[in-house]
Amino acid sequence: MRSIYKLMIVLLFVPLSIVRGQNISTTESSDSLTLTAILNEVIKNYPSIIKIEKELDAANARIGLANSAYYPDINLTSSYSRIGPTSTISIPNMGTFQLYPADNYFAAVSINQSIYDFGKTAKNVAFEKQSKDLTKLSIEQIKQGLSQRVIGNYYAIVFLQEAVKIKDEELATLNEHLRYVEKKAETGSATKYEILTTKVRISNIENQKTDILTSLQVQLSQLNSFLGKAQETSQIVKEDLNSSEIIASNDSLFNFALDHRDEMKIARQKTEMAKTKYQLVGAQNNPTFNFFANGGVKNGYLPNLATLTPNYSVGVGLRVPIFDATRTKYNKQQVKANMEANDQDTELAKRTIINEVVESKANSLAALKKVKQSELQLQQAQQAYALAETNFEAGAITNLDLLQSFTSVAESKLALLKTKIDYTVSLLKLKIAIGERVY
């Protein structure tokens, strides 16, 4: 009987991992989602990304508006007016003459073109282009932050999917064990205690599975939200885990992070924009040299007041601001204060980035150690299970002891998966911390 039971446990325990691997391989190859595919889909269609990308259109419009100062301003104007009384003059022996007509007609085209504004337009265009570059950097920062959220959701699903399968294995073995002890109890070879103990274990595992399924449902709902799918959409994700990687020294990581993190790029861009803004404010009181011309037709010219007569005017103008009520002075003070505040933001971002790099690297190294420890723990649990089989065959332990050994192996498998996931996530967080793109 013990040999039969031993064979039953072996058949249940050993092949399940193989069968499970085959099932996963078959399912994942056709239906399951990879992290890369999910990230690409989310980055492409997520509303917050689409929203901020629309701001690029507004930025292009502002650049076009700034460039419009280089082009002429052309207007067509026309009017009609009836005036009265009209003035007349009488000359002896010549008659009475009307000085201007009662009906007045006017139509003209006016052109006003800036010839030179001493850099005001050029600085304004440069500022708007820098503003557009800042928007692009903000988009990348949002994408990176969104990717980090997706990564957390993805690997939570990976863990929960595997946890459900391991719990199913445990339940299958416990139910087989329950049937075995119930048969033994019929012959008086097992006690009621063994039956109740097995039922308690089954109930406990079922409760654990229920909690895991609930958590999995929540995480899948979040994934569907990221992907823009219906909440009831069924999803399966692949077990995409990193192997051991060599991590660079702190100095190398710091230098790379300070060159590539979006926060530092944004801080530097804001500094450049503040400098351009300071120059732009200073250029507001620069002179403006412009050309103007207009031409058209109107009546009222002597001697034929009613005849529409062509007319024109052409010239150049110079505008030199003399006093602007100290507006430029205080605008410069405001921009300079913003520049100094931005310097502090840059320093704060630098310190935060260094702390994140140190933390992510420490977590990665610690996670790698845990992976090795968990691998050793699983190996020891498997060895213990093999010894338990031998002892059970020899009658040295009970079937409950053998079952406990099997449970330890299942729990060790789950613990190893968790440490591998922790290591993978820690590596991805380190990449994010140094500014590498994960999407």
Domain of 108, CATH number, reads: 2.20.200
Q: 395 with 367, same domain?
A: yes
Q: 105 with 186, same domain?
A: no
Alpha-carbon torsion 261, 263, 267, 273, what sign? positive
Q: 159 with 193, same domain?
A: yes
Cα–Cα distance for residue pair 257/435, rounded to 1 Å: 6
| pLDDT at 1 (0 to 100) | 39
DSSP letter, residue 86: P
pLDDT single digits (tens) 186-202: 887 777 888 888 899 89
Number of domains, the chain: 2
Q: 124 with 224, same domain?
A: yes
| pLDDT at 21 (0 to 100) | 38
Residues 288, 73 contacting (CB under 8 angstroms): no
Cα–Cα distance for residue pair 356/362, rounded to 1 Å: 10
| pLDDT at 165 (0 to 100) | 93
Task: Identify whether 362 is part of a domain.
Answer: yes
pLDDT single digits (tens) 98-112: 788 888 999 999 999
Q: 385 with 253, same domain?
A: yes
| pLDDT at 31 (0 to 100) | 67
Residues 300, 104 contacting (CB under 8 angstroms): yes
- Which segments of the chain have a pLDDT < 70? 1-31
Q: Encoding tokens for residue 219?
A: 């995480």
Domain that holds residue 194: 2-71+117-286+325-433
Cα–Cα distance for residue pair 209/414, rounded to 1 Å: 13
Measure CA of the first residue to CA of the last residue in the chain; give whole Å.
57
Q: 274 with 369, same domain?
A: yes
Q: 295 with 183, same domain?
A: no
Report which of 72, 68, 74 is spatially closest to residue 124, judged by C-alpha positions.
68
Cα–Cα distance for residue pair 65/60, rounded to 1 Å: 9
| CA 69 to each of CA 62, 117, 124, 183, 294: distance values in angstroms, whole numbers, following the listed order | 12, 10, 10, 95, 19
Report which of 352, 345, 424 is spatially closest to residue 159, judged by C-alpha positions.
424
Q: 232 with 147, same domain?
A: yes
Q: Is 286 helix (H, G, I), strand (E, B) or coil?
A: coil
Q: 67 with 80, same domain?
A: no
Residues 104, 287 contacting (CB under 8 angstroms): no
Task: Identify whether 438 is part of a domain.
Answer: no
Report which of 364, 406, 337 is spatially closest to residue 174, judged by C-alpha positions.
406
- Residue at a domain's end among 272, 304, 320: 320
Q: 195 with 280, same domain?
A: yes
The string of DSSP letters for 376-425 reads HHHHHHHHHHHHHHHHHHHTSS-HHHHHHHHHHHHHHHHHHHHHHHHHHH
**Which residue type is seen at 369?**
K
Cα–Cα distance for residue pair 235/221, rounded to 1 Å: 9
Q: 154 with 190, same domain?
A: yes
Q: 64 with 76, same domain?
A: no
Cα–Cα distance for residue pair 107/76, rounded to 1 Å: 7
Taking the complete model, does pTM exceed 0.85, yes or no? no
Task: Identify whether 31 is part of a domain.
Answer: yes
Task: Identify whether 439 is part of a domain.
Answer: no
- Please list the residues that pair with 313 across neighbouring strands: 294
DSSP strand E in 47-198: where?
A: 73-82, 88-91, 95-98, 103-116
Which residue in the block uniquely carries the two structure tokens 């801080």? 267
Longest dimension (CA), the chain: 154
| pLDDT at 239 (0 to 100) | 85
